[in-house]
Amino acid sequence: MGSSPSPDSFKFLIYGKTGWIGGLLGKLCEAQQIPFVYGSARLENRAAIESDIASSKPSHVFNAAGVTGRPNVDWCESHKVETIRANVVGTLSLADVCREKGLVLVNFATGCIFEYDEGHPLGSGIGFKEEDKPNFIGSFYSKTKAMVEDLLSNYENVCTLRVRMPITADLSNPRNFITKIARYEKVVNIPNSMTILDELLPVSIEMAKRNLTGVWNFTNPGVVSHNEILEMYKEYIDPTFTWKNFNLEEQAKVIVAPRSNNELDATKLSREFPSILPIKESLIENVFKPNRKTPVA
């Protein structure tokens, strides 16, 4: 997308001020002394987006706004129009206005649009690639995200980042995947691709600076299972920690919509950023070592 702005001319317009990822992004910009403002528009309000852009004159736009559902994505099953308004109409409006203004939009999307299948069996190490067609529409949330990703692929100004099961070193945050599974009464045990935000959010900023666009599997390379994470939790945080597993059929009884389990092929991202750690190493370096409560053996 066009020529890169010079380093001192970056200014980011960020949507999702009150959200988890949007909040972290703002803190990162502050730490890196990158000028930024939060957008005040609702995404479905095109005129309000235009006004945000006119007043802030950004070099790049980040979208960390969207409906994720509270307490979880099951909310979207009973709030379909609200989900479409934010995740489809809103996201498309933002991409369309950014295109009109010649701006790159870095869009935090989801990798929960795939599930293991015959061509990508669990444990095979064959992950879904950026160009693969989504095969998981089991939840309304994932369905809208898959639809919008397909439509956004026609926008050459959009950088789509497929985030999965985001994790940070803040283990007190109930949105953190580790915190979630450590608090559940029972957990399934399935290897998945995941995103260590402490490591990858700075990468998203660098991607904007490089004006990268297109679809990116935005996960650390490799997979990690629920039990492997909880074993680490036991080793580093709480040696007395115990948990119970259940299978997918039993899990289906306590949730409304099915959840996706998959491996994404992170080769494209790793080629561009060779220092990104494999998921298990990143978990230890970025999450468990900084939180260690047990004595070093």
- The correct pick among 13, 14, 21, 105 for binding ligand NAP (CB under 6 A) is 21
Q: Total number of residues binding ligand NAP (CB under 6 A)?
A: 24
Three state DSSP letters for the chain: CCCCCCHHHCCEEEECCCCHHHHHHHHHHHHCCCCEEECCCCCCCHHHHHHHHHHHCCCEEEECCCCCCCCCCHHHHCCHHHHHHHHHHHHHHHHHHHHHCCCEEEEEEECCCCCCECCECCCCCCCECCCCCCCCCCCHHHHHHHHHHHHHCCCCCEEEEEECCCECCCCCCCCCHHHHHHHCCEECCCCECCCEHHHHHHHHHHHHHCCCCEEEECCCCCCECHHHHHHHHHHHCCCCCCCEECCHHHHHCCCCCCCCCCCECCHHHHHHCCCCCCHHHHHHHHHHHHHCCCCCC
Q: Does 44 bind ligand NAP (CB under 6 A)?
A: yes
Contact positions with ligand NAP (CB under 6 A) in 177-236: none
Closest separation in Å from C-beta 107 to ligand NAP:
8
Binding segment for ligand NAP (CB under 6 A), chosen from 12-20, 27-35, 97-105, 125-133, is 12-20
Position with the least CB separation from ligand NAP: 19
Residue 18 vs 240, nearer CB to ligand NAP: 18
Q: Does 275 bind ligand NAP (CB under 6 A)?
A: no
Closest separation in Å from C-beta 154 to ligand NAP:
19
Q: Does 266 bind ligand NAP (CB under 6 A)?
A: no
User: Which x/- pattern, by CB under 6 A, does the window 79-118 give for ligand NAP?
Assistant: -------x---x-----------------x-x--------
Query: Binding residues for ligand NAP, per CB under 6 A?
Result: 15-22, 42-44, 64-68, 86, 90, 108, 110, 163-164, 166, 175
